[in-house]
Chain A
């Protein structure tokens, strides 16, 4: 039986984005896409979200930068990246030749930086969309994130929207007082989708030395440990916005993807699980048609949000 896996993001954008399937790989867990190409068939992915990029290249934080924790890991990479100029000059020309769409994750210090990077990416062949990293926990003073309030989120989104016709996804932090308010602000300011969740701030202490393991002291928690938080926030946000919700946070199996779709996600991103098993996203894509079928549906859309009370079963 044929099962429709296709997903649209940015139906109102100048350049809408059609994904062959709803399973993307998350920013920071797939480099610039080239690295895993040696190991798996990356062209079958729904989309690739590349490593967060900044206006200037960054060297990142001192090590140790990562440590495993129960059901996941902490990372404090510090946005090490090649800078937007080299991304446009060296990476985008490779992506043009690919079937799989590449979404560029951008991280600015200010509204102007976000807008300027969006302008630089607009019209670049090989760039299929932009994800706004308004929520990286590792590079802001005192652990503050720029996207913690609705007003800043709206300002960034609006400024980016004015500079690009590409689909714009706004990636949300779970560590805000009112994530639904932030999501609505993004939608009203012209976002084509919201993606959530980014990592949660945490730390691990080495009891032998008495010191934090990470040189940065804190890091972003990812992996299956954060999945219930992510499922809940996707469930909540998808009830207050009309744009697609892209769900992520600890996805490692087809079961996990179904949970996010039932919670209201239109698409998902596999992140940390790729480190443990590089084939995770592809395995999920292979299993998705049968999983949809087994629940008596002909498309993933028909499963979306069924967990919400009062929905037609």
Chain B
């Protein structure tokens, strides 16, 4: 973990409002693993002021790739980064996914842009000879991760809220029958999706080992500000330091307020 300047080598839009940034990161790239993140300064001034945590999507030799969805002031700046731009980075941070080397069958569950760390993890799993199924959910077809960017060995299951691609419904509808098959499960996505996954696992396979990468608003990402603390069965823990990857059984899920106008 260190402060470093990474230069943008490439910036490519891979689906709607979602870009892959390729950064030259030197030694940092070799030590970064899926589930870890970089804390990136998006502006020299106050627009925005704080860094933004960005999950590692893929690593290759001395490059790190980030998959960034334009969801706010910080990410909007990053998706507009140009080749040659310097990025002020802190990382790699946090505890990433632990790929269980004894696992033969691996199930990965991604929601929205939460698929990002799972792609790099799937590549590593395939490389180690594991059978991998990746199930993803999104609002609609144009927000589904392009299958062309996934190793051919990975089985790919898709769900969309509006039915414009794959199963009409939630990604958690797809995992039930795969749970018994899987030796290890890895997940990343919005809180409601992961809370739903936790319920499916609790009901269908309570002893299954499931690792989830949690997302929370972050300040320092160094374990200092205690802003990203979540409730767990081990007490309050920091997503930036003890996480972002946790055992799904340890998370105390909180109710997220529903959007106005949805009857919530």
Residues of A within 8 A of B (CB): 28-31, 35-36, 38-39, 51, 59-60, 62-68, 70-73, 75, 77, 80, 206-211, 223-225, 272, 274-279
Residues of A within 8 A of B229 (CB): 60, 63, 65, 77, 80
Whether B219 contacts A224 by the Cβ 8 Å rule is no
Given A60-B229, A275-B51, A275-B219: A70 touches B46 (CB 8 Å cut-off): yes
Whether B259 contacts A75 by the Cβ 8 Å rule is no
Residues of B within 8 A of A66 (CB): 217-219, 225, 227-228
Assembled-state Cα–Cα distance A76/B168 (Å): 39
Whether A71 contacts B225 by the Cβ 8 Å rule is no
B155 interface hit (Cβ, 8 Å): no
15 interchain pairs (CB within 8 A)? A28-B225, A36-B222, A38-B1, A60-B236, A62-B231, A62-B254, A63-B229, A63-B254, A65-B226, A65-B227, A68-B50, A75-B227, A210-B257, A223-B46, A278-B3
Closest 7 CB pairs of A and B: A66-B227, A31-B224, A209-B257, A275-B220, A211-B257, A71-B46, A210-B260
CB within 8 Å of A: which B64-122 residues: 73, 88, 90
Whether A208 contacts B50 by the Cβ 8 Å rule is no
Whether A73 contacts B50 by the Cβ 8 Å rule is yes
B235 interface hit (Cβ, 8 Å): yes
Assembled-state Cα–Cα distance A204/B100 (Å): 42
CB within 8 Å of A: which B35-83 residues: 41, 46, 48-51, 73
Residues of A within 8 A of B226 (CB): 51, 60, 65, 77, 80
Whether B258 contacts A209 by the Cβ 8 Å rule is yes
User: What residue in chain A is nearest B230 (Cβ atoms)?
Assistant: A63
Residues of A within 8 A of B90 (CB): 39, 278
User: What residue in chain A is nearest B258 (Cβ atoms)?
Assistant: A209
B223 interface hit (Cβ, 8 Å): yes
Residues of B within 8 A of A208 (CB): 259-260
Residues of A within 8 A of B221 (CB): 275
Closest chain-A Cβ to B259's Cβ sits at a distance in Å of 5
Closest chain-A Cβ to B51's Cβ sits at a distance in Å of 6
Residues of A within 8 A of B88 (CB): 277
Whether A31 contacts B257 by the Cβ 8 Å rule is no
Q: Which of A51, A60, A62, A64 is within 8 Å of B217, CB to CB?
A: A64
Closest chain-A Cβ to B260's Cβ sits at a distance in Å of 4
B2 interface hit (Cβ, 8 Å): yes
Assembled-state Cα–Cα distance A206/B1 (Å): 33
Residues of B within 8 A of A206 (CB): 257
Q: Which of A39, A70, A73, A277 is within 8 Å of B1, CB to CB?
A: A39
Assembled-state Cα–Cα distance A276/B260 (Å): 32
Given A60-B229, A62-B231: A73 touches B222 (CB 8 Å cut-off): no
Given A39-B222, A65-B217, 19 more pairs with CB closer than 8 A = A29-B225, A51-B226, A60-B229, A63-B229, A65-B227, A65-B228, A65-B229, A66-B219, A67-B217, A72-B46, A73-B50, A77-B225, A80-B229, A80-B236, A206-B257, A207-B260, A210-B257, A275-B50, A275-B51
Whether B51 contacts A276 by the Cβ 8 Å rule is yes
Assembled-state Cα–Cα distance A73/B217 (Å): 11
B142 interface hit (Cβ, 8 Å): no
Q: Which of B48, B50, B222, B227 is within 8 Å of A278, CB to CB?
A: B222
Residues of B within 8 A of A67 (CB): 217
B216 interface hit (Cβ, 8 Å): yes
Closest chain-A Cβ to B231's Cβ sits at a distance in Å of 7
Residues of B within 8 A of A72 (CB): 46, 49
Assembled-state Cα–Cα distance A65/B254 (Å): 13
Q: Which of B3, B48, B225, B236 is within 8 Å of A39, CB to CB?
A: B3
User: What residue in chain B is nearest A70 (Cβ atoms)?
Assistant: B46
Whether B49 contacts A68 by the Cβ 8 Å rule is yes
Whether B49 contacts A73 by the Cβ 8 Å rule is yes
Residues of A within 8 A of B218 (CB): 66
Whether B3 contacts A279 by the Cβ 8 Å rule is yes
| Most-contacted residue by chain A among B3, B220, B235 (CB, 10 A) | B220
Residues of A within 8 A of B230 (CB): 63
Residues of A within 8 A of B73 (CB): 68
Closest chain-A Cβ to B224's Cβ sits at a distance in Å of 4
Residues of B within 8 A of A77 (CB): 225-227, 229
User: What residue in chain B is nearest A79 (Cβ atoms)?
Assistant: B226
Closest chain-A Cβ to B166's Cβ sits at a distance in Å of 26
Whether A75 contacts B219 by the Cβ 8 Å rule is yes
